[in-house]
């Protein structure tokens, strides 16, 4: 299995807190966010890494190589990271999608046990979802009684949504061709500045995508200074 980690973004809302560093390099306790993600992958046996870099790419690359340089991770550069979003960054990795992979936004801290939930024997692709009452700004999911995702995106009726997609997913090999086609459609239609969920949403009509609840495990996407403060309270000693 492969890890594809998107770490190209500016992280504008956390520039003061990060002293100008990319937010994936912000320390939570003794480790940076991206080092924590790498450690969790290593613990479940993942040794194949692909990183999409953009903002201060050389600094982030060096930071990653200091951790796993011996594994020869693959680096893909998004040259227009300031004009695009995760849909385009993930599209850039399409040639690396040759087997099951776990997708990460590089600003998520989480209990490592959550990755074990994504590496079970399920025959379906899976997305981690925090079940809760959502706000308008969050990437939300609508699911059915079998935990199949019916819709995903920001512009959904909050009253119909089961929770928030927290930026980590596993895609099975059998759906990868359709993931790539959906990403390509998004790029071709001018949605390069959209979140990758735009492409995932196109899969829900014909493919089963399971919502895997994060209940019982800590997990937090860090977008704002208050998220960082909360993450440090929860994870600093872990």
d(C-alpha 68, C-alpha 46), whole Å: 12
pLDDT of residue 15: 82
pLDDT of residue 126: 97
Q: Average pLDDT of the chain?
A: 94
Q: Which residues pair with 128 in a beta bridge?
A: 212
pLDDT of residue 17: 76
d(C-alpha 28, C-alpha 43), whole Å: 19
User: Domain count of the chain?
Assistant: 1
Task: State what percent of residues in the chain have pLDDT above 90.
Answer: 89
Report strand pairing: 149-153 vs 140-143: antiparallel
Res. 16 pLDDT band, cuts 50 70 90: confident
Whether 119 has a pLDDT exceeding 90, the answer reads no
d(C-alpha 63, C-alpha 54), whole Å: 14
More confident residue, 119 or 80: 80
Q: Which two tokens stand for residue 112?
A: 């490592």
Q: What is the CATH number of the domain that holds 81?
A: 3.90.550.10
Res. 13 pLDDT band, cuts 50 70 90: confident
pLDDT in tens, 137-182: 899 999 999 999 999 999 999 999 999 999 999 999 999 999 999 9
Cβ–Cβ < 8 Å for 125, 174: no
* Nearest one of 92, 90, 84 to 193, comparing CA atoms: 84
Whether 49 has a pLDDT exceeding 90, the answer reads yes
pLDDT of residue 121: 80
Whether 211 has a pLDDT exceeding 80, the answer reads yes
pLDDT of residue 135: 87
Is the Cα torsion angle 166, 172, 175, 180 positive or negative in sign?
positive
Whether 14 has a pLDDT exceeding 90, the answer reads no
- Give the H or E element holding residue 232: helix 225-235
Whether 116 has a pLDDT exceeding 80, the answer reads yes
pLDDT of residue 132: 93
pLDDT in tens, 69-89: 999 999 999 999 999 999 999
Whether 12 has a pLDDT exceeding 90, the answer reads no
d(C-alpha 44, C-alpha 26), whole Å: 23
Full domain range(s) for residue 215: 2-235
């Amino acid at each position: 299995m492969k890890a594809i980690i998107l770490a190209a973004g500016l992280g504008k809302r956390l520039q003061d807190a990060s002293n100008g560093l990319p937010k994936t390099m912000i320390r939570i306790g003794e480790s940076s966010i991206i080092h924590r993600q790498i450690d969790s992958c290593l613990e479940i046996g993942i040794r194949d890494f692909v990183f999409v870099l953009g903002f201060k790419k050389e600094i982030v690359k060096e930071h990653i190589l200091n951790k796993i340089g011996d594994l020869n991770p693959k680096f893909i550069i998004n040259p227009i990271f300031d004009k695009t979003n995760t849909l385009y960054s993930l599209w850039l990795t399409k040639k690396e999608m040759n087997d099951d992979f776990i997708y990460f936004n590089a600003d998520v801290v989480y209990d490592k046990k959550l990755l074990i939930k994504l590496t079970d024997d399920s025959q379906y692709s899976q997305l981690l979802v925090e079940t809760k009452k959502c706000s308008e700004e969050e990437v939300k999911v609508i699911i059915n009684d079998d935990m199949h995702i019916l819709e995903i995106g920001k512009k959904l009726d909050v009253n119909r949504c089961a929770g928030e997609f927290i930026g980590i997913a596993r895609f099975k090999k059998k759906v990868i061709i359709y993931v790539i086609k959906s990403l390509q459609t998004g790029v071709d239609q001018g949605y390069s500045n959209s979140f990758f969920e735009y492409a995932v949403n196109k899969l829900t009509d014909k493919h089963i995508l399971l919502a895997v609840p994060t209940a019982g495990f800590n997990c937090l996407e860090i977008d704002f200074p208050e998220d960082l403060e909360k993450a440090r309270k929860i994870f600093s000693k872990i």
